[in-house]
Amino acid sequence: MPTKTSVLRDEIKQTRPFSSPAHEALVSILRTAAVVQRHISQVVDGSGITIQQYNVLRILRGAGSAGLPTLAIRDRMIEEAAGITRLLDKLETAGHVVRERSTPDRRQVLCHITPAGLRLLAQLDEPVDAANDYALAMLDDAERRALVELLGAVRAGFTSGRTGNR
């Protein structure tokens, strides 16, 4: 009798079964994240910035006029960015970000979004919102809320240091 293959195994052309349901779930999360990220990147890339740079600009817009230190930006990013200084260099060169030394602590660099950066984000707001809606259009609101809760539980397991099974 033939073995039933999962949609994920078919999609990634995997011939062997996953070693466990946990392994399949993890690969599914990673694959889905990559597909959605490519989708959003297509919208953002047309504006001349990367999705990571877009994330930095959104963080700085949310910070308002107070700005944020470089490491606070890095800690808030969706995707870990080892090269946060390079990201900021490129955004500063493009005129989207300014950096200044903090007055009380000269070692700390505060970053602020510029009016040009705000204009760029304003241009991207509608197309990115549309791309976000499209990415989850196949789910209703209850399913989206359930997905957010389930993914939150996965992340909480990592931040709480919990290991093993329930």
Mean pLDDT of the chain: 89
Of the candidates 45, 97, 39, the residue with the CA atom closest to the CA atom of residue 68: 97
Reading the block at residue 105, the tokens are 């602590």
> Considering the entire predicted model, what is its pTM?
0.82
Using CA atoms, how far residue 1 sits from 4, 7, 17, 84, 115, in Å, is 9, 19, 15, 53, 64
pLDDT tens track for 143-163: 999 999 999 999 898 887 655
The side-by-side arrangement of strands in the sheet containing 68-69 is 68-69, 109-113, 97-101
CA 28 to centroid of chain Cα atoms:
17
Residue 28 contacts by C-beta under 8 Å, 6 or more apart in sequence? Answer: 8
Q: Residue range 11-38: average pLDDT?
A: 89
Q: What is the pLDDT of residue 106?
A: 66
Helices (H), the chain: 7-11, 21-45, 51-63, 70-76, 84-93, 115-135, 141-159
Place 166 in a pLDDT band, splitting at 50, 70 and 90: very low
- In the chain, the domains with their CATH numbers are 20-131 (1.10.10.10)
Q: Could you tell me the maximum CA-CA distance found in the chain, to the nearest angstrom?
A: 73
Task: Return the percentage of the chain with pLDDT > 90, whole number.
Answer: 66
pLDDT tens track for 46-75: 999 999 999 999 999 999 999 999 989 999
Distance, CA of 146 to CA of 104 (rounded, Å)? 45
Q: What is the pLDDT of residue 109?
A: 86
Q: What is the pLDDT of residue 9?
A: 82
pLDDT tens track for 97-116: 999 886 666 678 899 999 99
Q: What is the pLDDT of residue 162?
A: 59
Q: What is the pLDDT of residue 102?
A: 67
